[in-house]
Amino acid sequence: DIVMTQSPLSLPVTPGEPASISCRSSQSLLDSNGYNYLGWYLQKPGQSPQLLIYVGSNRASGVPDRFSGSGSGRNYTLKISRVEAEDVGVYYCMQSLQIPFSFGPGTKVDI
Amino acid sequence: QVQLAESGGGVVQPGGSLRLSCAASGFTLSKHGMYWVRQAPGKGLEWVALIWYDGSNKYYADSVRGRFTVSRDNSKNTLYLQMNSLRAEDTAVYYCAREYDWKTRRLDYWGQGTLVTVSS
């Protein structure tokens, strides 16, 4: 099974400043079709998770362009160019290359 | 608009059974794979199950295989999760989520979740 790790697990942020979260997988998430099966999800307090980034670097519909995803193989990064107060919550990476799919432990972002 | 609404959660004794439902609206359920994801109180997300758009393939987490069964009725726009032999560690909020397509495997819509509590 693929194990996902994230760092840091807790990230205090300052509005207007950049922030970055790392996600690492125990195996490469790069498929033969060229896609990296890594997604980023944000769970705001009291809400269901929402999709931010898919296949490593594609921003989901409606997601502000201050969010960006990068990486390939085993290492991925989610960057927020300028944090806003509404960005607080827990960020999860998820691999969907190999069943059983799996999530990282989550990174709690707060102001 | 796309909506997913889970129901069927509640309190059940260890060893008991429960069936969750996920009512889909605003899109054609038969065109999408569907997932169940759970979240134990104060914990992270755990992938539970996946069923293909036509129900032809089903996959499970090791922690639930043999006890949980995912199914769907596309004519009723509903996804199900039959949970048997429930354990205390199955206590969680259960979310259903839509897979946009198998090519990208992104979960673009999630329900609000339903709480399952396994306790005597």
Report residue B66's pLDDT band, with 50, 70 and 90 as the boundaries: very high
Question: What average pLDDT does range A74-97 have in this prediction?
Answer: 97
Distance, CA of A36 to CA of A30 (rounded, Å): 4
The tokens of B17 are what?
Answer: 């059974």
Mutation site for A-interface testing, chosen from B32, B47, B105 by largest number of A Cβ within 10 Å: B105
Q: Is B37 on the interface with A (CB under 8 A)?
A: yes
Mutation site for A-interface testing, chosen from B2, B22, B47 by largest number of A Cβ within 10 Å: B47
Q: Is the bond preceding residue A105 a cis peptide, omega within 30 degrees?
A: no
Residues of B in contact with A6 (CB under 8 A): none
- For chain B, the average pLDDT equals 97
- For chain A, the average pLDDT equals 97
> Which pLDDT belongs to residue A14?
95
Report residue A6's pLDDT band, with 50, 70 and 90 as the boundaries: very high
If 0-12 CB within 10 Å is exposed, 13-18 middle and 19+ buried, where does residue A45 land?
exposed
Mutation site for B-interface testing, chosen from A57, A96, A103 by largest number of B Cβ within 10 Å: A96
Adjacent-strand bridge partners of A12: A110
> Which pLDDT belongs to residue B58?
98
Q: Which residue has the tokens 């293909």?
A: B52
> Which pLDDT belongs to residue A95?
98
Q: Phi first, then psi: give them for residue A87, nearest 5 degrees.
A: -90, 0
> Which pLDDT belongs to residue B71?
97
Torsion angle of C-alpha atoms B80, B83, B84, B87, degrees rounded to 10: 180
Distance, CA of B6 to CA of B25 (rounded, Å): 12
Q: Look at B59 and A50 and tell me if their CB atoms are within 8 Å.
A: no
> Which pLDDT belongs to residue A77?
98
Question: What average pLDDT does range B53-68 have in this prediction?
Answer: 97
Residues of B in contact with A49 (CB under 8 A): 37, 45, 95, 97, 107, 110
Q: Count of alpha carbons within 13 Å of A69, Cβ hemisphere only?
A: 26
B103: closest chain A residue by CA: A35
Report residue A82's pLDDT band, with 50, 70 and 90 as the boundaries: very high
Distance, CA of B73 to CA of B91 (rounded, Å): 26
> Which pLDDT belongs to residue A42?
98
> Which pLDDT belongs to residue B75?
96
- pLDDT tens digits for range B106-117: 999 999 999 999
Q: Is the bond preceding residue B41 a cis peptide, omega within 30 degrees?
A: no
Distance, CA of A16 to CA of A39 (rounded, Å): 24
B111: closest chain A residue by CA: A48
Report residue B9's pLDDT band, with 50, 70 and 90 as the boundaries: very high
- pLDDT tens digits for range B89-104: 999 999 999 999 999 9
- pLDDT tens digits for range A43-62: 999 999 999 999 999 999 99
Residues of A in contact with B103 (CB under 8 A): 33, 35
Report residue B81's pLDDT band, with 50, 70 and 90 as the boundaries: very high
Question: A14: distance to nearest CA of chain B, Å?
Answer: 24
Question: What average pLDDT does range B49-77 have in this prediction?
Answer: 97
